[in-house]
Amino acid sequence: MKLLFNIAWTHVSARVRQTLVGMAGVAMGVGFTIMMAGLMQGSQIDFLRQLVDTMPHITVDDERRSVPTQPAEREYAAVQMAEIANVGKRPGIKYPESVMSSLGSWIPGEVAPSVKTTAIIDHGGARIGITLTGIDPRREVHVSKLASQMREGKLDDLSRAPNGILVGEALAEKLGVKTGNTVLLVGGQGIQLNSTVAGLFRSGLKRVDESQIYSLAGTAQVMMGQSGVVNQLRLRLNDPMSAQKVAAQVEAQTGYKSVSWQEANADLLSTFTVRDFIVLTVMGAMLLTSSFATYNIISTITHEKRQDIAIMKSLGMREYAVRRIFIIESIIIGVVGILFGWILGYLLCYGWSKITIFNPLTGTTVPLQIYYSAMHYVVAGGISLLCCAGAAYFPARKATRVHPVDIIRGAS
Amino acid sequence: MTEVALQAVELVRRIEGVVSHTLVNGIDLAVNKGEFVAITGPSGSGKSSLLYLLGLLDAPSEGEIMICGQPTSKLSETERADVRLTKCGFVFQFHFLLPEFTSLDNVLLPMRAAGRMTEGEMRERGLALLGSLGLGEHANKRPNQLSGGQRQRVAIARALANRPEIIVADEPTGALDTASTEQVFSILRDIADQGQTVVVVTHDPALAARADRRIHIVDGKIAEITGRDGGELVCEMGS
C-alpha cells in the first residue's frame, strides 16, 4: 500500500494546479452542502419550535372519531341505527376533573382544561370571526408558552379586567384596539358580552395571532351558554416528539378524539418531507458535480500515464493494484478538499447566521437560523469521498484494462 | 541433466478480426536454465510477439508455455501477473522507467510490489544492483538526469530486482549508441553466465552471435536455430 500511495502522491504532487482545482471543487461542494444543510435544518427546527411552543402538544376534544356504538346495536346484530339525534345532549367532556386527574397520573407532562368556542369580535365597526379559548391561567402556564408570548399585560390580568380577553397583536392591529379598550363579543347563540382587552400576545404564527383570543374559562362558558362545561383538554409533554404515541394512548383511554401537534399540522409537515427531498437532491447533485473535477484530473493522469500503467502491469503488478493508485489519488484530492470544505462550510454557516431578515408576519428582525451538526460534516464528507472514489474508479478501470503489449508496441 | 527454464509447446498467437493474422505459428522451443538465447528475424516476423508470449505478457491462442516446469495457459490474469513479478524480468527497447521516481525507486518498484523483503533489505539490494551495473552514484537521480545507456542499465537492474529465473529483453540495445550497446549486452551475457536465463530479441547479428543460441524467426515460425559457434542446430524452415 505504501508503494501505491507513493506513486499516487507523486502523480498528484506533480500536477499542483490541476490538483488544486480538483480540491477546490470538492471543497466548494462540501462547504456549500454543509451550509445548505445547516440552513435548511436550522429553519425547520426554528419553525417546529415555534409550532410546538405555540400549540399544545395534544388536544383532547369532546368529539369522537367515529359514531359510538348504540346499546341496541350491541344487543341486536340485525338492528341498523340511522339519523340518531343527540337530543338535549350536553356538550363537553364528561367529568373533566376526573379525566384530567387520571391522565395526570401517567402522562409525561401536564394537562389543563379549556373551553373552546367561536365568536365574533366587534370593535369600531370591524367584525371579525375568532376562536375564543377559555383558560385557567394558573394551569395554562404549564401547558403553553402564552405567558412568555405576552407583549402587553399578563395572564393574571384576565382575572382583574371585567370579562378580560387576551388578543393577538395582529388581530388587535386589524381591529385597532389597545390594552384597556372594550370590545363586543358575540357568541353563536346571540349572546353578547362587553369585554376588556387585558393584554396582547404574539405567538409568531400568523393564523393564531389573527384569529385566536383567550379569556377565563368562565367567560367562554358564558359565550357558549353552557356553564361549567369543559370541551377541550390541552396537554403539554416533556418530549414533544412523543405526542403521537401519547395521543393514541389518551384516545384509547378516554374515547375522546386526541390530536397530536403532528396530526394537526400533517399537511405542513408533509411539505417538509418534500422540501427535504428537494434539498437533499440538490445537495447530492452539488457533491456529485464537485467530483467532476476529480474525474477530469484522474482521466488526464490515466491518459498521460498509460505507458507507466503498462510497465507496472508488465512488471507483475496486479490490475487492481494499479487501479488502486488512481483511486488513492482521488482520495488524496478528496480528503484535502473535504478538510477545506469543512472549514468553508463552517465559515459560510457563521456568515449566514449573522444575516438578519425581517419577518413581516411577526414584525420582527431575526437572524437566519443555522443548525450546527457534526453529522452534516460527516455526511457531506463521506458522500463527497465516495463521489471522488467513484469518479476515479471508472477512468482508472478503463486505463488499467488496457493490454500492456498494446502500449509497449505503440511506444516502440 | 540440463534443467529447462522456459518451454513453449506448439505456440500459436492469432489476432482475430475482419482479417485474421497469425503472429506466432506453432513454435516449439525449450530454453535451458542459464542459457542466453537471441531471437532474430526481420521486422514483422513475430519475434517480439513470441517474446511477449514467453514472458507471459501476452496469452497464446493455442499451445502452452511452461515456466520452470509450471504450465501457464490456465492461469488467471492475476496469477500470470504473479509469475511475471517473481519469475520474469523485463527489459524493453525503451527504458520505460517511471519518470517521477529516482533510479533506486524504479529498481525498488518490483521488490515493493512483491513485498517479500523489508524496506532495508530492498534498499540494500537495490543499491547493490545499481552498484554492480556501475550506477551507484546515480541512485538518486531521475531518469531524465541519466544517459540512454544508464537508463537502460537501471531498467536491467529493475528486471533483476526480484531475482527472476528468466530475463526477457526486447531489443534492449535498439535505442543505444555503440558503447552503451556493448555495455548492456555484456551485462546480459554476465547475467546468463551467473545462471539466469536470458532471452533477447535483437536485430543486431553481431550481438546475436554472442548468444548461446540464435533462433531466427520468419513469418511466425522458427526458420533456423544456430549454436554459439555458428553451427546450425535445427532448420525448420517450412516445417
pLDDT digits (tens, 9 = 90+) for B140-178: 999 999 988 889 889 988 988 888 989 998 888 877 778
- CA dist., res. A143 & res. A150, Å (int): 15
- CA dist., res. A257 & res. B221, Å (int): 95
- Residues facing A200 on adjacent strands: A152, A167
**How many Å lie between the alpha carbon of B1 and the closest alpha carbon of chain A?**
31
For chain A, percent of residues with pLDDT exceeding 70: 94
Q: Nearest-5° angle of CA A173, CA A177, CA A182? A: 155
Least confident of A77-86, A391-400, B166-175: A77-86
pLDDT category at A182 given cuts 50, 70, 90 is: very high
Residue type, A261: W
**How many Å lie between the alpha carbon of B114 and the closest alpha carbon of chain A?**
8
Whether residue A247 sits in one domain with residue A98: yes
For chain B, percent of residues with pLDDT exceeding 70: 94
**How many Å lie between the alpha carbon of B197 and the closest alpha carbon of chain A?**
17
Residue type, A273: T
Residues of B in contact with A403 (CB under 8 A): 58
List, in sequence order, every beta strand (DSSP E) within A178-293: 182-187, 192-201, 212-216, 232-237, 258-260
Q: Which of A228, A264, A214, A249 is nearest to A92 (CA)?
A: A228
**Among the partner residues B78, B105, B113, nearest to A315 by beta-carbon distance:** B113
Rg (CA), chain A: 33
Q: Report yes or no on A71 lying in a domain.
A: no
Strand pairing class (B70-71; B232-234): unpaired
Instruction: Determine the residue of chain B that is closest to A319 in CA distance.
Output: B78
Which helix (DSSP H) or strand (DSSP E) does residue A349 occupy? Answer: helix A319-353
**How many Å lie between the alpha carbon of B215 and the closest alpha carbon of chain A?**
21
Residue B41: give the domain boundaries: 4-234
- CA dist., res. B125 & res. B103, Å (int): 13
* B36, three cell numbers: 542466453
Q: Is residue A202 within 8 Å of residue A169, measured between CB atoms?
A: yes
- Residues facing A365 on adjacent strands: A358
Q: Report yes or no on A82 lying in a domain.
A: no
Pairwise CB contact (< 8 Å): B110 & A11: no
- CA dist., res. A163 & res. A181, Å (int): 12
**How many Å lie between the alpha carbon of B52 and the closest alpha carbon of chain A?**
7
Chain A interface mutation, best of B54, B57, B170, highest count of A Cβ atoms under 10 Å: B57
Whether residue A219 sits in one domain with residue A344: no
How many other CB atoms are there within 10 angstroms of residue A374's CB atom? 7
Least confident of A83-87, B25-29, B83-87, B131-135: A83-87
- CA dist., res. A285 & res. A283, Å (int): 5
pLDDT in tens, A330-344: 999 999 999 999 999
Pairwise CB contact (< 8 Å): B85 & A317: yes
- Residues facing A236 on adjacent strands: A110
Instruction: Determine the residue of chain B that is closest to A407 in CA distance.
Output: B96
**Of residues B227 and A4, more confidently modeled:** A4
Whether residue A292 sits in one domain with residue A400: yes
Q: Report yes or no on B38 lying in a domain.
A: yes
Residues of A in contact with B48 (CB under 8 A): 409, 412
- CA dist., res. B238 & res. B222, Å (int): 9
**How many Å lie between the alpha carbon of A331 and the closest alpha carbon of chain B?**
20
Whether residue A99 sits in one domain with residue A175: yes
Q: Report yes or no on A400 lying in a domain.
A: yes
pLDDT in tens, B199-236: 999 888 888 888 899 999 999 898 888 876 555 554 44
Buried/exposed A349-373: b ≥16 CB within 10 Å, e otherwise: beebbeeeeeeeebeeeeebbbbee
Least confident of A89-93, A206-210, A350-354: A89-93
Residues of B in contact with A314 (CB under 8 A): 55, 57, 84, 90
Q: Report yes or no on B125 lying in a domain.
A: yes
* A4, three cell numbers: 501505491
**Among the partner residues A310, A317, A411, nearest to B81 by beta-carbon distance:** A317
Chain A interface mutation, best of B21, B76, B92, highest count of A Cβ atoms under 10 Å: B92
Chain A interface mutation, best of B87, B90, B170, highest count of A Cβ atoms under 10 Å: B90
**Domain finish residue from A241, A260, A279:** A260
**Of residues A287 and A27, more confidently modeled:** A27
pLDDT in tens, A124-168: 888 899 999 999 999 888 888 888 889 999 988 998 888 999 999
Q: Could you tell me how many residues make up chain A?
A: 412
Question: What pLDDT shows up at residue B96?
Answer: 85
Instruction: Determine the residue of chain B that is closest to A13 in CA distance.
Output: B100
**How many Å lie between the alpha carbon of A275 and the closest alpha carbon of chain B?**
49
Question: What pLDDT shows up at residue B238?
Answer: 37
Residue A72: exposure state from Cβ atoms within 10 A (0-12, 13-18, ≥19): exposed
Please tell me whether residue A150 adopts helix, strand or coil conformation: strand
Chain B residues whose C-beta sits inside 8 Å of any chain A C-beta: 48, 52, 55, 57-58, 77-78, 81-86, 88, 90, 92-94, 96, 98, 100-101, 105, 109-110, 112-114, 158, 162, 170-171
- Residues facing A167 on adjacent strands: A200, A213
The values of phi and psi at residue A290, to 5°, are: -65, -25
Q: Does A190 touch chain B (CB under 8 A)?
A: no
pLDDT category at A30 given cuts 50, 70, 90 is: very high
Q: Is residue B33 within 8 Å of residue B59, measured between CB atoms?
A: no
Q: Report yes or no on A392 lying in a domain.
A: yes
**How many Å lie between the alpha carbon of B136 and the closest alpha carbon of chain A?**
22
Residue type, A229: V
Q: Report yes or no on A83 lying in a domain.
A: no
Count CA atoms within 13 Å of residue A326 on its CB side: 30
| Interface A-B: count of C-beta contacts within 8 A | 69
Q: Does A11 touch chain B (CB under 8 A)?
A: yes
pLDDT category at A403 given cuts 50, 70, 90 is: confident
* A166, three cell numbers: 387576551
Q: Which of A247, A194, A218, A200 is nearest to A60 (CA)?
A: A247
**Among the partner residues A317, A319, A412, nearest to B113 by beta-carbon distance:** A317
Residue A280: give the domain boundaries: 2-52+269-411
Whether residue A356 sits in one domain with residue A232: no
Which helix (DSSP H) or strand (DSSP E) does residue A390 occupy? Answer: helix A374-400
Whether the ipTM is more than 0.85: the answer is: no
Residues 6 or more apart in contact with residue A296 via CB below 8 angstroms: A22
Pairwise CB contact (< 8 Å): B170 & A412: yes
Residue B113: exposure state from Cβ atoms within 10 A (0-12, 13-18, ≥19): buried
- CA dist., res. A100 & res. A177, Å (int): 36
Q: Report yes or no on B239 lying in a domain.
A: no
- Residues facing A366 on adjacent strands: A357
How many structural domains are present in chain B?
1
Whether residue A102 sits in one domain with residue A213: yes
Instruction: Determine the residue of chain A that is closest to B82 in CA distance.
Output: A316
Q: Report yes or no on B182 lying in a domain.
A: yes
Q: Report yes or no on A75 lying in a domain.
A: no
Question: What pLDDT shows up at residue A412?
Answer: 54
* A242, three cell numbers: 412523543
Pairwise CB contact (< 8 Å): A316 & B92: no
Q: Report yes or no on A73 lying in a domain.
A: no
Pairwise CB contact (< 8 Å): A412 & B92: yes
Q: Which long-range contacts (CB under 8 A, 24 or more apart) does A171-179 make?
A: A171/A121, A171/A128, A171/A130, A171/A209, A171/A210, A171/A211, A171/A212, A171/A213, A172/A197, A172/A200, A174/A126, A174/A128, A174/A210, A175/A121, A175/A123, A175/A124, A175/A126, A175/A128, A176/A123, A176/A124, A176/A126, A177/A123, A179/A152, A179/A153
Residues of B in contact with A307 (CB under 8 A): 96
**Domain finish residue from A260, A279, A312:** A260
Whether residue A301 sits in one domain with residue A235: no
**Domain finish residue from A260, A284, A307:** A260
Pairwise CB contact (< 8 Å): B84 & A321: no
Which helix (DSSP H) or strand (DSSP E) does residue A385 occupy? Answer: helix A374-400
Question: What pLDDT shows up at residue B239?
Answer: 35
- CA dist., res. B142 & res. B154, Å (int): 10
How many structural domains are present in chain A?
2
Chain A interface mutation, best of B95, B112, B202, highest count of A Cβ atoms under 10 Å: B112
Whether residue A279 sits in one domain with residue A241: no
Which helix (DSSP H) or strand (DSSP E) does residue A113 occupy? Answer: strand A109-123
Q: Report yes or no on A401 lying in a domain.
A: yes
Instruction: Determine the residue of chain A that is closest to B160 in CA distance.
Output: A315
Question: What pLDDT shows up at residue B182?
Answer: 82
Instruction: Determine the residue of chain A that is closest to B84 in CA distance.
Output: A316
Using CA atoms, how far residue B212 sits from A172, A191, B191, B199, in Å, is 111, 124, 13, 10
Question: DSSP string covering A167-181, please?
Answer: EEHHHHHHHT--TT-
Residues of B in contact with A308 (CB under 8 A): 98
The values of phi and psi at residue B205, to 5°, are: -65, -30
> Which residue do the cell numbers 470544505 mark?
A341
- Residues facing B7 on adjacent strands: B30, B66
Q: Report yes or no on B206 lying in a domain.
A: yes
Pairwise CB contact (< 8 Å): B84 & A315: yes
**How many Å lie between the alpha carbon of A315 and the closest alpha carbon of chain B?**
6
- CA dist., res. B52 & res. B217, Å (int): 14
Question: What pLDDT shows up at residue B236?
Answer: 45
User: B89: domain CATH number?
Assistant: 3.40.50.300
Q: What is the 3-state secondary structure (H, E, C) of chain B?
A: CCCEEEEEEEEEEEECCCCCEEEEEEEEEEEECCCEEEEECCCCCCHHHHHHHHCCCCCCCEEEEEECCEECCCCCHHHHHHHHHHHEEEECCCCCCCCCCCHHHHHHHHHHHHCCCCHHHHHHHHHHHHHHCCCHHHCCCCHHHCCHHHHHHHHHHHHHCCCCCEEEEECCCCCCCHHHHHHHHHHHHHHHHCCCEEEEECCCHHHHCCCCEEEEEECCEEEEEEECCCCEEECCCCC
Q: Does A324 touch chain B (CB under 8 A)?
A: no
Residue range B95-102: mean pLDDT, rounded: 87
Residue range A237-248: mean pLDDT, rounded: 91
Residues of B in contact with A315 (CB under 8 A): 84-85, 90, 109-110, 113, 158
Say whether pLDDT at A63 is over 60.
Answer: yes
Whether residue A275 sits in one domain with residue A238: no
Q: Is residue A356 within 8 Å of residue A366, measured between CB atoms?
A: yes
pLDDT category at A271 given cuts 50, 70, 90 is: confident
Whether residue A247 sits in one domain with residue A140: yes
Residues 6 or more apart in contact with residue A145 via CB below 8 angstroms: A53, A54, A203
